[in-house]
Amino acid sequence: MPLTDAAIKKLKPEDKQYKLSDGGGLYLLVHPSGGKYWRLAYRINDKQKTLSVGTYPDVSLKDARDRRETARKQLANDIDPGEARQAKKRDDMIAASNTFEAVAREWIENRSNDWTAGHKALTLKTLEQDAFPTLGRRRIAEITPLELLESVRKIEKRGALEIASRVLQRCSAVFRFGIATGRCNGNPATELRGALKSPKRDHYTTIEKGGLPQLLRDIDTYQGSPMTVYALQLMALTFVRTRELTEAEWSEIDLDKAEWIIPAGRMKMRRPHLVPLSTQAVAVFREAEKLSGDRRFVFPNRNDPSKPASNAIILRALGRMGYTGKMTGHGFRSAASTLLNENKSKWGIHKDHIEIQLAHVEKNASRGAYNFAEYQEDRIIMMQRWADYLDELKVGAQILAFNKAA
């Protein structure tokens, strides 16, 4: 006799499991624990098989009967319902691994050895915030140029033009990875060149014409923490990236040799970087050593000395000195690049020396065997000349105007 919902609800568990038939191979299996499980018995190619249909009441009596009918139609066409279910699971798994989000996460992991942990986290965060909500669940091979454009234009509409451009660039990289791994055949991002508004290219803020001498004097007389003063002075003298300085460890620095070797793991390009230290830079490090020499980090975090200082200390200090919107940590790099290039003939500096010191190393295969000590002697001379020049500016011996770096 066919089952009814009322009868099923009244079923009680017994010491051993038992089953009640609904006909057509469908039956309800009642466990001693009280669980009620739908099963479908069927025969194909002279083999008796059983298919799990679901759990009551999550799968109602009506739903179980509908699934029985679907299975019977498959059997009528010589299709094994169990094998068909496994094939669908495999297809679903393949489809899940071919979504834009799945491919993007795989791309990020694939690039992990080339990126710093910070850059990896930032790239993932950008995609999580501005790409995955609209594109994440879509199969990467099915995303059209118009769909991608609509996604990035949502970012553009909120006025975040630089972010919209960056997201499009990263999406393009994901599609290229998808092509390389056989998940898609084209890159819709290439069809969108010129489709977005161009962000204003101020790049990183740096001092206006003639403002560097005063900034250097303001740094020396800054009334904040001595360690912050030392950090600002070293930003000017070494023009490394902000995070490279704030996360510097004493183990990286040899003051007797007057050199600082930043390990590959902390560099943007994942290559070790040599920073020759001028006599002025050594003197600043010596002062910092008096305060943090027994710590791991040159600039320990004020709240937790076992961690490095936040890279925000540079920007906050510049703001307190009145340089909000006029100067950033990266501005020291822009200033050094501009002034060193303007004076390279006068000082006998080659452009390659400047680029290597800025850690602007080409990524192509011909530069794969990068020598972090390349042009070391020339760079030692250059860094000392740069430090002497900053001293000249501070005392007003020479005022050289320069434009914002592009």
350 catalytic per annotation: no
Question: For residues 243 and 364, what is the distance between their CA atoms, to the nearest angstrom?
Answer: 25
The helix or strand, by DSSP H or E, that contains position 39, with its residue range, turns out to be: strand 36-44
Q: Would you say 255 and 269 are in contact if contact means Cβ atoms under 8 Å apart?
A: no
Domains of the chain as residue ranges with CATH: 5-80 (3.30.160.390), 100-192 (1.10.150.130), 212-394 (1.10.443.10)
pLDDT of residue 366: 39
Instruction: Supply the pLDDT for residue 94.
Output: 60
pTM of the model: 0.54
**Known catalytic membership, residue 375:** no
- According to DSSP, the residues that pair with 249 across neighbouring strands are 297
Identify the pLDDT of residue 187.
94
36, 65, 183, 333: the active-site residue: 333
Q: Which of 36, 65, 273, 330 is catalytic?
A: 330
Q: Is 333 a catalytic residue?
A: yes
**For the packed helices 100-110 and 161-180, what is the interaxial angle rounded to 10 degrees?**
90
- What gap in Å lies between CA 40 and CA 24, rounded to an integer? 8
First to last CA, the chain: 84
Locate the DSSP E strands across 45-152.
47-56
207 is written with which tokens?
């001092």
Collapsed DSSP state (helix, strand, coil) of residue 32 = coil
Q: Among 67, 68, 241, 273, which one carries the catalytic annotation?
A: 241
Q: Which residues contact 183 (CB under 8 A, 6 or more apart)?
A: 98, 103, 140, 141
Q: Is 370 a catalytic residue?
A: yes
What is the torsion angle, in degrees rounded to the nearest 10, for the CA atoms of residue 89, residue 94, residue 99 and residue 104? Answer: 130
The catalytic position among 31, 125, 137, 360 is: 360
Is 125 labeled as catalytic in the residue annotation?
no
Per-residue pLDDT of the chain (406 residues; tens, 9 = 90+): 788 989 999 899 999 999 999 998 999 999 999 999 999 999 998 899 999 999 999 999 999 999 999 999 988 888 898 888 887 777 666 666 789 999 999 999 988 777 777 778 888 988 999 999 999 989 999 999 999 999 999 988 888 787 888 899 999 999 999 999 888 899 999 988 888 877 655 545 667 657 899 999 999 999 889 999 999 999 999 999 999 999 999 999 999 999 999 998 888 777 889 999 999 999 999 999 999 999 999 999 988 999 999 988 999 999 999 888 888 888 999 899 989 999 989 999 999 899 999 987 654 433 444 566 678 899 999 999 999 999 998 887 544 434 333 3
